Amino acid sequence: MAFNREKLACYANNARTGVTPAYWKYDNTAGDTVTAAGFFDDNRMSVNDIVEVLGSNHAETRYYVSAVANGKATVTAVA
């Protein structure tokens, strides 16, 4: 499967995206590899935004946007 924008929601700082980090939620119960470069094809995301991903095991994992290129965001797991 590929990125599905309908499963992405912004919960905080939507109006200030790009100014302060936004907080996103993504339903990934399909089990996609969200850490693939440019997986999040959404031009609203900015570097340092936080993305909580609900995985196929119904556990949440926290990531941050580490890079954005051509409107596509790459995330890295928060240590």
Dump pLDDT digits (tens) for 20-64.
Answer: 899 999 999 889 999 999 999 999 999 999 999 999 888 999 999
DSSP state of 20: B
Q: Is 7 helix (H, G, I), strand (E, B) or coil?
A: helix
User: What is the Rg, in whole angstroms, of the alpha carbon atoms belonging to the chain?
Assistant: 11
The answer to whether residues 67 and 73 touch, using CB atoms and an 8 Å cutoff, is: yes
Closest CA to 61 of 38, 32, 21: 32
Reply yes or no on whether the pLDDT at 76 is more than 70: yes
Distance separating alpha carbons of residues 32 and 46, to the nearest angstrom: 21
